[in-house]
Structure 1
Amino acid sequence: MIKRTLISFLIVFHTYPGYCRREPSIATNIPWQQVAPGVWKGIVGTPDQISPLSVAEIKPRIEALTSLGNLPFPAQLNEGVAEVHNHLTSLRFPLRRGEEIYGLGLQFKSVKQRGTIKQLRVDHYGGTDNGRTHAPVPFYVTDNGYGVLINTARYLTVYAGTGVRKDSNDPPPEMNRNSQRDWNPQPYSDAVEIAIPASGTEIYVFAGKNMMEVVQRYNLYCGGGILPPKWGLGFTHRTPTLYSDQEVMNEVEQFNAKGYPLSFVGLEPGWQSRSYPNTFVWDSTRFPRPNYFVNELLKRHIRVNLWINPYVSSYSPIYKKITPYTGSHTVWVGEVPDFFMPQARKLYKQLFTTQHLDIGVSGFKVDEVDGYDNWLWPDVAKFPSETSAEQMRQVYGLQFQKMTADWFREKNQRTYGLVRASNAGAASLPYVLYNDYYNHRDFITALCNSSFIGVLWTPEARSSKTAEEWLRRMQAVCFSPMAMLNAWADGTKPWSFPEVEKQVKDVMLLRMQLLPYLYTTFAQYHLEGKPPVRAMPLVEGFNYSANAEKTQLHSSDNPYTTTVVPEVKDQFMLGDYLLVAPLFAGDTTRKVVLPKGKWYDFYTGDYVGDGEIIEVPTTLNYTPLFVRDGGIIPMMPPMLHVPENGEKVGLTVRHYGKAENSTYLYDDDGTTFNYENGTYSLFKLSVTHEGGKLKGSQSTVKADYPSGYRDFSWKFMTK
């Protein structure tokens, strides 16, 4: 009996997968297949069906990708290998000496990512660039002319040039800390290594002649960048959370009476009958006539945006019907809908359409889809679609963006909103990221980083300790993808600090004047894939090198001192021509790194430098702005609202420097998707030398739709 039992045990031991001796897995080369000009796809193992690109339902812009040319596959990545073992997929891609890495999610403190480890996971940003962030997009681009996207909805870990393999082709030398003063605790690594807790994954490679072209291909493959409605590029003010309809109207009237522009207002949780969790229906005491309220604002050229999070209160009219299609855990004791279930999507669409879209609401602010861990569902949660809690978290914000965007598209109505979580494939979705973190300098770094990963980010203003800080924050938001004052808790107004009231008004009105330039820049994002805000490494002619600085060695806090290389993360380009150098409270001077080529002061047209570091004095009156030689900036009058369809405005077209140039000015109806059928106007703006002087002209290249611009006048800023 004992012998028979022992034999049975040995049979089980040698045959049961959990106990058997496994053959070591072998890393193999990745098979690549071209899927678009300059774009390749690789499949390793058995990928999950759910991925960010599948949730976003991307529609690559093949014609635009073709116009960039068909580059060969990046030879360096032929050395990439993959391995699948025990439900873990490992990837390894080579790095060359001096090669820099950018991207890997919405980071707030650094732009260069080589030498870092990122645990890419949707989460509230906690103050550390560890990869847990609102948009952990698993995409990186290098200055060697390629980008890599890992299309997975898993929590993945990226070792961006940190691990040192024994079989490295370019190993670092062994060092002796006892005798070598330059001993480095972080030896040189020649690879990016990625760990994915899944039995396979999809990988995409994007090629380009430079990093900008790589980013363009990524954005175009994801459907092209979003073109917001014109009103979305005006100014938005989010009102205190328990305001009534009359209080909101009073605030709108104050903006108008004081001469501050306003294009849409945001209503915070109190517009609902119950929130945290939510009913999604109007509170009858604060908003007894929501239809009338929304339409009164529309008469004043102002749209309404509603705060929501997706979690369903037991008082909501859809509660009983949606409960079977929700997860095992609640958020704030609200049901968590599983949007992979068509029944859940249908119930939301019906409720949101009747309560919001049908009465003229123009968009949403989607909160609380990012973290913290103790607020969201845990990773042990179950969902009726059998989607894992991990995957649900990685794509929940992305999924809600796609779902709501489709509702508006069915009405042929563009929207523009806010969201707390996103992922790969989001470039064509009409949402801007935001969070509760409130470090002004880090906000600008995030603005730079957003340009590498196909998302938009806004450094919103909420409150400030001083008038100077308030001004600097307001100046920064006016050069971001969404100019927003969020007064939900503090009740601040643009005029809350009388000492800088005029300067705040000036920059808000400048935002409105720049609308033709901004709108064209976003059209370029859609048509060409160029992000509207651009980190300096994406800019032609930018070259910045600085000596590494050692951090201070401390026996307890920092026993392994490392070197830090300063990077440019506090300035950016807005469109093709405008360089923005934000100021921060306490600054007395400001250093600006100019790319190669002549640059001119936006306000005066004076020459400021060529490919050098300049230092400019600070002033309360304006943010330092600089324009590239030959830069053409079309501007409209400083209106208090965005021009409506059919409303004609005159344009002043500014030219800077001495160079001849030509560019395009884009226009359409500003609200519908008719532009996708070719119903838009495209003007060619040209500056040439004639008789020793510069002369400007404009011609309509495409005129399938009447333009809202008239009476072009030219202003040559450089004397």
Structure 2
Amino acid sequence: YSDYVLRVTARLHEEQNPTPKANPYAVIQSEDNRGELSFEEQVNYCQINGMKFSIQMEADNGRLTFSTLDGRVINADDFGILWNGEEVGCYKKIHAEERFVGLGEKTGHLNRRQTAFSNWNTDYLGYPESARELYSTIPFYIGCNDGLWYGIFFDNTHRSKFNFGASNHRFAYFSAEAGLMDYYFIHGENPAAILSEYKNLTGATPMPPKWALGLQQCRYSYYPDTEFIRLAQTYREKDIPCDVLYYDIHYMDKYKVFTWDKDRFPDPKRLNQELKELGFHTVTIVDPGIKEDDNYPIHKEGKEGNAYLTYPDGSPWTADVWPGKSSFPDYTKPSTRSWWASQFSQLKQDGVAGFWNDMNEPASWGQDTPNIVQFDWEGEGTSHKEGRNVYGMQMSRATYEGARQASSGERPFILTRATYAGGQRFAAKWTGDNVASNEHMLMGSRMITSLGLSGFPFSGYDVGGFMGEGDKELFARWFSIAAFSPFFRCHKMINSNSAEPWTYGEEVTEIARNYAKLRYRLMPLLYSLFYKAHIKGMPIQRSLCMQYGQEEEVWSQAYDSQFMLGDDLLICPVASDQNISKIYLPKGDWFDFYSDKHYDGGQVHLVESPLHRLPVFVRAGGILPMQSSIAHTGEDHDGTLRLHLYLGDDQAEGSLIVYDDDEKLENPKSVSLNLSLNGNSLTMAKESNGHYLSFETIRLYWHGKEGQESIHGCTVDGQDQLIKRGNLQHLLPISNFDPFYESGEGQNDILDLHHVDIPVHSLKNQVTVVWE
């Protein structure tokens, strides 16, 4: 598939009946471009050449060894590929210091060494940390063996198992209950290179509409229509930026999808227009279960079109969900996907902006889905055993297509609970029905990082915990952490406390306001990171192992909740009751984001972590693009792009692409500002594809121990610039609710910074800024 990706398939024998089928859904990369392999027969093995790595296959048993071209072993079979009845597995040697990350939405810690998981998409309300099966299946992991990185994607949709030495220290294995042994071996210099190849293989995360990057507010459920207006107005009155409000199941007529409850929502089009005027977009939940009622047009259409999952005799499989006895569309059938997609036009006409696919494992009440239930599988036919794990992915595929067809060039936003590898092409993902606890908060952060390491960069969790009654401290801390996550949504269970920040009191309101505003000021960075995810497959929320994998501490369970937002911003999630926290800073110079205090890297630090101030650090050489505060993404900023440059004694280097576009789905007009920081200079190269920077001024701020006192001259392409000096504060002080705040502890982080303003109209395609 490329010089770095080799597909390995095996079947027991040619006459194996029925012959296992390859999964038609995950891999989209064409086989047409693959290179030619050459084979050299040796005495006991066959040498396979033609890749950027070496492959040896043993003659008597087919075991594979993958090595670098200079002979270092990357990965090697132990037993190799084995069958046990229908079950097929592959056993790999484990090396002493080998680490494993990935598998997407999994509990526990990031390093999967000595753990085991299985994949069977499961509705798991309030899952514990010991859960081994959750809502999604992403059978892809990355291994690191003595500094050599590789990835393995096992593309088999049956229930699968992954064991990374949990039962012994000799081997790891992956297996499936049935089907084809079909895996892709990926070699790369680092995790970023592997994720780029995986993106090419399974598809890119599409660029989202900007509003989907803002704060989103949900509850099970808000109703009637006046409640939405009250909610929207309160967000604006409280001065907390927010972009999205959700309709959960109570907006529907007796829970029938594609309907409105006309008593609660008599005029949804007018309501959505009023919300739009307040700067809000709306998202409706759309579940797969269709009420079995011949007087319900959607059900009747599906029945007449043979759109449903069936028993072997062709009769629809039914189960109880929200509307009662329901049928379930077969999204592995092309005609069903087309029919489903056609249903979204009315909701779009009513002003709904996005769609939320829930219950799509599929979930049902009081029974498991029988394995004899039949899936169309693109006309090939298969059973629930093979089809279940792609059900949610194919539902989000059909929903994405429906949103695309019903829009006039707008980008769809789809959110899904269940998915499979490749599902990143269609939807964002959240981690399901979590619990209001510090353990779930920190585990959720690791799950988002793991999803990013598994090729699924657009994900998040329910802020505050969906289930249970968390206290105000938990909500405040969770909100501040989530402000740096890719997907940012508050959500809460029915018959429980609310999930709006102000319901926890004025102190939490001010903390939430600070971090929501900070997120919106960071929007140029966030949007640029989504662009890099789109073109390179790079995570937005990144494990420290991506940049600092050679450092032992980043693999420690004590620090694996920490993550990078992009290359330069280090976020340190800590429990809500921790006022002093132990964090690890990788090698190099680091600066406290709020105070610019310098920290030496390569060591553990004890830092203050009061409730109102989440520990956040910036790497020396880092570039942070920021804008002014806005109430929602549709509001204009003040016209100034702030570029914060973080300098260090070691003359650290950094680079960043600040990207913007017109948000069109097809052939967007775009502009990018390619930034390169090197010692005492910054190069800015502008590239435009019919779009222009929305900023009139670029303001450079210098941070760092060599920055604040020593900037006394600055030129742009040799032209002297006027250096100014002024104050800046990333977080506003919290009101004096108790003596802690009254003391000013951690409240007076006012930065006194040199800065220079550069008019955008004066920029040529490339300029160099030099200071001394």
Q: Same fold (TM over 0.5)?
A: yes
Give the paired residue count: 627
- Correspondence for 2:672: 682
Preserved CA contact (<8 Å) 1:111 1:567: no
* Alpha-carbon separation, structure 1, partners of 2:29 and 2:354: 23
- Correspondence for 1:274: 254
- Correspondence for 1:10: none
- Correspondence for 1:514: 522
Counterpart pick for 1:709 among 685, 692, 695: 695
- Correspondence for 1:111: 110
Shift of the alpha carbon at 1:202? 1.7
* Alpha-carbon separation, structure 1, partners of 2:4 and 2:366: 42
Confirm whether residue 493 of structure 1 aligns to residue 521 of structure 2: no
Preserved CA contact (<8 Å) 1:231 1:642: yes
Shift of the alpha carbon at 1:540? 3.1
List per-residue Cα deviations over 1:226-271 (Å, max 9, x = no partner).
3221111111111451512222012111111221111111111111
List per-residue Cα deviations over 1:91-128 (Å, max 9, x = no partner).
12222221111123411222111222222211134324
List per-residue Cα deviations over 1:374-415 (Å, max 9, x = no partner).
556423342362431122321111111211222333443212
User: Mapping of 1:85-234 within 5 angstroms?
Assistant: 86-125=85-124, 126-129=127-130, 131-144=132-145, 145-162=149-166, 187-189=168-170, 191-234=171-214
* Alpha-carbon separation, structure 2, partners of 1:608 and 1:441: 24
Q: For structure 1, which segment, 204-213 or 402-411, has the greater mean C-alpha deviation from structure 2 after superposition?
A: 402-411
Preserved CA contact (<8 Å) 1:105 1:120: no
Preserved CA contact (<8 Å) 2:106 2:450: yes
Confirm whether residue 573 of structure 1 aligns to residue 574 of structure 2: no
Q: Relative contact order, CA 8 A, sep 6+: which one is greater? A: 1
Counterpart pick for 1:536 among 539, 544, 547: 544
List per-residue Cα deviations over 1:120-175 (Å, max 9, x = no partner).
21113432445311223111111131011110110012222245xxxxxxxxxxxx
* Alpha-carbon separation, structure 2, partners of 1:105 and 1:695: 40
- Correspondence for 1:638: 629
Q: Does the residue aligned with 2:424 lie in a helix, a strand or coil?
A: coil
In the superposition, the TM-score normalised over structure 1's length comes to: 0.82
Confirm whether residue 415 of structure 1 aligns to residue 412 of structure 2: yes
- Correspondence for 1:182: none
Preserved CA contact (<8 Å) 1:230 1:671: no
Which runs of 5 or more residues in structure 1 are unaligned?
A: 1-34, 164-186, 548-564
Shift of the alpha carbon at 1:599? 1.1
Shift of the alpha carbon at 1:36? 1.8
Q: Does the residue aligned with 2:374 lie in a helix, a strand or coil?
A: coil
* Residue 473 to residue 371, structure 1, CA distance change in 2 (3 Å): farther
Q: For structure 1, which segment, 440-449 or 565-574, has the greater mean C-alpha deviation from structure 2 after superposition?
A: 565-574
Letter in 2 for 1:454: G
Which runs of 5 or more residues in structure 2 are unaligned?
A: 36-49, 55-65, 68-73, 310-316, 709-772
Preserved CA contact (<8 Å) 1:107 1:129: no
List per-residue Cα deviations over 1:674-708 (Å, max 9, x = no partner).
33xxx21111224455xxxx455633133432232
List per-residue Cα deviations over 1:575-616 (Å, max 9, x = no partner).
111110023221121111112211111122221121111110
Letter in 2 for 1:466: D
Counterpart pick for 1:699 among 685, 710, 720: 685
* Alpha-carbon separation, structure 1, partners of 2:587 and 2:6: 33
- Name segments (4+ residues, structure 1) moved above 6 Å: 60-63
- Correspondence for 1:55: 25
Letter in 1 for 2:597: D
User: Mapping of 1:312-351 within 5 angstroms?
Assistant: 312-315=290-293, 316-323=296-303, 324-327=306-309, 328-332=317-321, 333-351=325-343
User: Mapping of 1:459-474 within 5 angstroms?
Assistant: 459-462=461-464, 464-474=469-479
- Correspondence for 2:665: 672
Q: Does the residue aligned with 2:25 lie in a helix, a strand or coil?
A: helix
* Alpha-carbon separation, structure 1, partners of 2:89 and 2:169: 20
* Alpha-carbon separation, structure 1, partners of 2:190 and 2:546: 8
- Correspondence for 1:175: none
- Correspondence for 2:713: none
Q: Does the residue aligned with 2:501 lie in a helix, a strand or coil?
A: coil
Counterpart pick for 2:347 among 356, 366, 376: 356
Shift of the alpha carbon at 1:372? 6.1
Shift of the alpha carbon at 1:79? 3.8
* Alpha-carbon separation, structure 2, partners of 1:420 and 1:363: 15
Shift of the alpha carbon at 1:57? 6.1
Letter in 1 for 2:459: W
* Residue 519 to residue 546, structure 1, CA distance change in 2 (3 Å): closer
* Alpha-carbon separation, structure 1, partners of 2:688 and 2:258: 43
**% of aligned pairs identical?**
22
Q: Does the residue aligned with 1:479 lie in a helix, a strand or coil?
A: coil
List per-residue Cα deviations over 1:154-198 (Å, max 9, x = no partner).
0012222245xxxxxxxxxxxxxxxxxxxxxxx422x22222222
* Residue 373 to residue 589, structure 1, CA distance change in 2 (3 Å): farther
Q: Does the residue aligned with 2:548 lie in a helix, a strand or coil?
A: coil
* Alpha-carbon separation, structure 2, partners of 1:246 and 1:491: 17
* Residue 687 to residue 78, structure 1, CA distance change in 2 (3 Å): closer
* Residue 378 to residue 541, structure 1, CA distance change in 2 (3 Å): closer
Preserved CA contact (<8 Å) 1:662 1:685: yes
Letter in 2 for 1:516: P
- Correspondence for 1:40: 6
* Alpha-carbon separation, structure 1, partners of 2:694 and 2:103: 40
Letter in 1 for 2:340: Y
